[in-house]
Homo-oligomer: A and B are copies of this chain.
């Protein structure tokens, strides 16, 4: 199983990608310890490279270093999550507005295809595939805005949001699948204003599905720290 490729210069990127993907796919739960030596053995590199990858992910906000010396998958507080979503609202609204101004027909069609696949996945109960498509939708939109700086921030925040959702999701809340459709419609109509408003509302809707109020954290061992 060990994806032990030749360990090129891109080994760090490989580790980052693997961890990001695992977090998105819910295989890595928030709070999971990430040991340098073990990761290094698995990926066939030394601690040095693993360390660089972990520091990068820390900077991206999905891994927490300085938690008493051990790297763990970040476990953002409710306040952190609110800030993440507030920032995401601002930035993704801006990215979609910018994207409307320069998107071409082909990209719109591609976007539609992603949303169609997403809806199909949810319809057949494949939550994992649905989530993946949903993320792909946001990532594509970020790339389409034509501004790498904004796109990077948008991607970071979408990733952090996924972490937040994994932590705080209320069970039994249905996916609001119409949002992405409406968004693409507004984009296709070149209605930047409306697309921006829809995106802001969409982000709000995502946040509203979380249980940020009463429950401080559906967490790990902290629950048992009742001494």
A61–B148 Cα gap in the complex (Å)?
12
Residues of A at the B interface (CB closer than 8 Å) are 52, 55-56, 59, 61, 83-84, 86-87, 90-91, 94, 98, 147-150, 153, 157
Closest to A84 in B: B149
A150 touches B59 (CB 8 A): no
Kindly report how many copies of this chain are found in the complex they form together: 2
- Choose among B55, B56, B83, B147 the residue that contacts A149 (Cβ–Cβ < 8 A): B83
Q: How far is the CA of A52 from the CA of B56 in the complex (A)?
A: 10
Partner of A150, one of B86, B147, B148: B86
Chain A interface mostly = helix
Kindly provide the distance from the CB of A71 to the nearest chain B CB, expressed in whole angstroms: 14
Residue of B nearest to A147 (CB): B83
A47 to chain B, nearest CB (A): 12
Name which residue of chain B comes closest to A153, CB basis.
B153
Q: Are A87 and B55 in contact (CB under 8 A)?
A: no
Query: What B residues does A56 contact at CB under 8 A?
Result: 55, 59
Task: Name A90's contact: one of B59, B94, B148 (CB within 8 Å).
Answer: B94
Looking at the assembled complex, report how far the CB atom of A216 sits from the nearest CB atom of chain B, in whole angstroms: 18
**Chain B residues with CB under 8 A of A98:** 86
> With A and B bound together, what is the CA distance between A153 and B86 in angstroms?
13
Query: Residue of B at shortest CB range from A95?
Result: B90
Chain B residue contacts of A86, Cβ below 8 A: 98, 147, 149-150
Bound together, the chains give a CA A179 to CA B48 distance in angstroms of 47
Rounded to whole Å, the gap between the CB of A54 and the closest CB of chain B is 11
CA distance A129 to B91 in the complex (A): 32
